[in-house]
Structure 1
Amino acid sequence: MPEMTPARRRFALFALALGGFGIGCTEFVSMGLLPQIAQDMLGETYTASPEQGIAQAGWLISAYALGVVVGAPLISVLVARASRTTMLLVMAVALLVGNVASAVAPEFETLMVMRFLAGLPHGAYFGLASLVAADVMGPGNQAKGVALALSGLTVANVVGVPTMTALGQAYGWRAAYVAVAVVFLVTVAALWFTVPSQRPIAGSSRRGEMSALRYGQVWIVMGVAAIGFGGFFAIFSYLTQMSRELAHLPGGAVPWLLATVGIGMTVGNIAGGISADRYPKQSMIIGFPMLALVMLAVWALVGNPVGIFVAGLAMGLANSFVMPSIQSWLIDAAGEARLLGASLNHSAFNVANSIGAVLGGAVISAGFGYRSPALVAFVLVIVGGLLALYGAKRQKGLARRHRTTVEMEITEPGTGRTPVVSSSR
């Protein structure tokens, strides 16, 4: 990365975060507009059974998430030898096109396909943006760079998603996707003018990026993210309907509720980025029990008009606190395949999105009520936390064996061998 002035560094970080802002809007605005989409695109089903209509509209969330799951590793491998800054622009353009296509989709099935296609560049953009942000920030600030790249995502939940939800309620859900497309149009221009061109990384290759998939630790961390964060989405996907049916909030209060969750996510992301740079494993070990307790609090408070705001704030904070440490851990576990490692976190995160939306919708449509996704969320977080403990213990054991191997090699004089460097992944 060429030397940058402080002003250009700030503008470059803003441009990277703006793309994250757009992604946060396009990913989460569907959740706030599920009732409108269900009524417009699934009229007969929604009229016969609002619960069934809402659950079916939730498939749009899973379709977008599936696009991220497929696109993150696939695109990361394909662009391994390309310039990161060039590919950032390509991903931003693809996101622009995907949202325009979503806005003009004529029927539900077509909209599902468009949401899948819109999700394809999501993970690759964040992977590229995280690495470029880390380079802009300088050595020793990887987790802070990740947090800055993710800051647009969290700010989107404070400002973008509530605003676009209100826009969709007033002018139709299609207007929200048009507004997201405008954000990406501005992002393309901002990236073009502020982020300096970066040559392809020497030695990068598709085979090198694929090597990350050989490491058991990579799969463990992906499992932690996919299961542990699934709890958040089991609730957040249906929070709009929970607020109406359980807390009896008016439609105009929904954007404020979403903004409250977004404030929690923003604070949690900042605190998590600082904590992850200092105490990466401890952040997860503390974060998951905290998140599990919050899920129980959601179950207890979601029926109260004030309590649902308190629970939403706590849920956003606790969930985002853990995210930077997970991504930093995954980048480290991937070794030299840093781009794939950075992208795989978003693939796993959107497996969580899909799992949460599906399981939350399943218990609602099965007749257990709108409070039941909170109990699903609690179970998912507990499982994710236990997997995180296993992964941390496994990594510690591998590191101990690695040190023992090196010490044995050093104490064998006359062998002519250099110390063995065994992977702790």
Structure 2
Amino acid sequence: MLGNFVTGCSVLAPAGMLGELSSGLHVSISTAGLLVTFGAVVLCVGSPLTAWLTSRIERRTLLAATLAVLALGNFASAVAPDYASLLGIRLVMLAVGALYTPQAAGTGALIVPAEKRGSTIAYLFLGWSLAAAVGLPAIAFIASRYGWQAVYGAIGLMGCLSFLLLVWRLPRGLTGAPVDLTTWATIGRNPMILSLLLITTLQMSGQFVVFTYMGPLLARLTGAGPDPIALVFACYGACGVIGTLIASRIVDSWGAWKTSLFFMLVLLAGLAGWALSAGIYSLMAVSVAIWGIGFASTNSMQQVRLVGAAPALASASVSLNTSALYIGQAAGSAIGGFLYAHDLIYASGYVATALIALAVIAVILTKPKKAQSVQ
């Protein structure tokens, strides 16, 4: 879970300090936002590729090595002399970091009984919620006072701590099912898995149209300064933790599909509220809080549904889900950057809402039969 926190902070960090990166590296806001877009492209390619290349490596060794690279990558980012260097370091770091989230989910499934699988995966994904709840407001606060370099240094230190704890506590000898070309072919013939991957892509695309540029959008739409923006990030993340905790409590009794649909509707309500209240800080903050409740819960439920749809394919399908997640991030941040660069700042909320609405429809269409209710 702590490793997911480090991974989440590493991925999301630029979104919390676009202004500081823009001024410190002498690039535009939209160019700084490309750190998210290009990073997501590497992540979406790297997740299934590294899952294939590393499927026979013992899990403790693999996860520890991944955290070590994330820590070193963040320390290197702290001393990057210019934008091109920072982008290059980020792409290398995330190419390896793409391993962590899907392999952590697969490892969690190996060490708990099947009936606890849903709540365990939801708990592991709590690290991403904490990255938004604690990490993003801390990133915005530290960057506004001490600079973006200090942010990367702090994430590097957290990576070292996570590495040491994981080496100390995770059992040795855990291995997942090997991933080969037959595995990918089997997944390609599974309509439920393909539908779930589409849902992940749509809902992440919708969120990142707004999320990547949330700080600059709040500044332009409401005149908010660094501290009010950090407060909105904090509300978003805190509600993400609350949503994930609720999801982990109810998923084993409700089933993953019903839980997923509920939180997807919450997500839709939050982004629709952002679009409709654009320009009013208090209402936008409330909308972001509602959005936050659905954010991490929908992602964790997607992983639970994938594992339930084909447990034997979990290592590969969850890595593909992570890939779909980052495809959504790349597409959404690219759309958001286009809208921001062309001064279409009010339109971003409505575009995001439309994409989430499509995801809700897709969830409804994937309602499983009673015999498959774990999905």
TM-score (norm 2): 0.92
* Aligned partners of 2:269 and 2:291 also within 8 Å: no
- What is the percent sequence identity of the aligned residues? 21
SS of the residue 1:112 aligns to = helix
Quickly say closer, same or farther: Cα 1:229–1:272, change in 2 above 3 A: farther
Q: For residue 24 of structure 2, what is the aligned residue in structure 1?
A: 40
Which residue is 1:389 aligned to?
364
Structure 1 residues 90 and 209 mapped into 2: Cα distance closer, same or farther (>3 Å)? farther
Residue of structure 2 equivalent to 1:285: 261
CA distance in 1, matches of 2:210, 2:147: 24
Matched, 1:28 2:4: no
How far is 1:37 from its partner? 0.9
1:136 Cα deviation (Å)? 3.7
Correspondence 1:336 to 2:312:
yes
- Write the letter of the residue equivalent to 1:280: A
Aligned equivalents of 1:386, 1:273: Cα separation in 2: 23
Q: Select 2:342's aligned residue among 356, 366, 369.
A: 366
1:110-152: CA deviation from partner (whole Å, max 9, x where unpaired): 3222222222233421122112233444331112111111111
Q: Does residue 76 of structure 1 match 2:51?
A: yes
Cα distance between partner residues in 1 of 2:370 and 2:257: 14
> Which amino acid letter does the alignment assign opposite residue 106 of structure 1?
P
Q: CA deviation at 1:337?
A: 2.1
Say which of 205, 215, 218 aligns to 2:190. 215
Residue 243 of structure 1: how far off its partner (Å): 2.0
Q: How many residues align?
A: 371
| 1:299 corresponding residue in structure 2 | 275
5+ residue gaps, structure 1, are 1-16, 44-52, 400-424
Do structure 1's residue 178 and structure 2's residue 178 form an aligned pair?
Answer: no
Mean CA deviation greater in 98-107 or 360-369? 98-107
Amino acid corresponding to residue 389 of structure 1 in structure 2: I
**Is 1:208–1:337's contact at 8 Å kept on the other side of the alignment?**
no
1:15-37 deviation line (CA, Å, top 9, x unaligned): xx111111121122211111111
Cα deviation for residue 109 of structure 1 reads: 2.6
Matched, 1:319 2:303: no
Quickly say closer, same or farther: Cα 1:245–1:76, change in 2 above 3 A.
Answer: same
Offset, 1:207: 4.1
Report SS of the residue matched to 1:306.
helix
- For residue 354 of structure 1, what is the aligned residue in structure 2? 330
Q: Work out whether residues 273 and 325 of structure 1, in 8 Å CA contact, stay in contact via their aligned partners in 2.
A: no
Contact 2:107 / 2:174 at 8 angstroms: preserved in 1? no
Q: Are 1:204 and 2:178 counterparts? A: yes
Contact 1:266 1:317 (C-alpha < 8 Å) held by counterparts: yes
The one-letter code of the counterpart of 2:249 is I
Per chain length, whose mean CA-contact separation is higher, i.e. which structure has more relative contact order (CA < 8 Å, sep 6+)?
2
DSSP-derived class of the 1:110 partner: helix
Counterpart for residue 275 of structure 1: 250
The corresponding residue for 1:3 is: none
Contact 1:231 1:379 in 2 (8 A): yes
Amino acid at match of 2:150: A
State yes or no: 1:240 paired with 2:215.
yes
Determine helix, strand or coil for the equivalent of 2:173.
Answer: coil
- Which ranges in structure 2 are unaligned for 5 or more consecutive residues? none
The answer to whether the 8 Å contact 2:267/2:292 transfers is: no
Structure 1 window deviating more from structure 2 (165-174 vs 189-198): it is: 165-174
Instruction: Find the residue that maps to 2:130 and give its secondary structure.
Output: helix
How far apart are the structure 2 equivalents of 1:335 and 1:212? 12
Q: Which amino acid aligns with 2:275?
A: W
TM superposition shift of 1:240: 0.7
Cα distance, 1:209 vs structure 2: 4.0
| Runs of 4+ residues deviating >4 angstroms | 395-399
For each residue in 1:168-214, what CA deviation from the matched residue of structure 2 results, as whole angstroms up to 9, or x when unmatched? 2212112111111111111111111111112434x634345434344
What code does the residue aligned with 1:140 have? E
Structure 1 contact 67–115 (Cα < 8 Å) conserved? no
Q: Is the 8 A contact 2:272 2:350 kept in 1?
A: yes
CA–CA distance in 1 between the matches of 2:239 and 2:194?
29
Q: 1:105 to 1:216 in 2, by over 3 A?
A: farther
RMSD of the alignment, in Å?
A: 2.2
CA contact (8 A) 1:143 1:274 kept: no
Higher alpha-carbon Rg = 1
Per the alignment, in what secondary structure is the counterpart of residue 280 of structure 2?
Answer: coil
Aligned to 2:168: 193
- How far the C-alpha of 1:302 sits from its partner, in A, is 3.8
Cα separation, partners in 2 of 1:216 and 1:256, compared to 1, 3 Å: same
Contact 1:20–1:152 (CA under 8 A) maintained in structure 2: yes
| Alignment match, 1:258 | 233
Check the 8 A contact 1:67/1:118 in 2, yes or no. no
Distance in 1, matches of 2:179 and 2:46, equals: 18
How does the TM-score come out when normalised to structure 1? 0.81
Structure 1 residue aligned with 2:123:
148
CA distance in 1, matches of 2:88, 2:202: 25
User: How many angstroms apart in 2 are the aligned matches of 1:342 and 1:227?
Assistant: 16
Amino acid across the alignment from 1:113: G
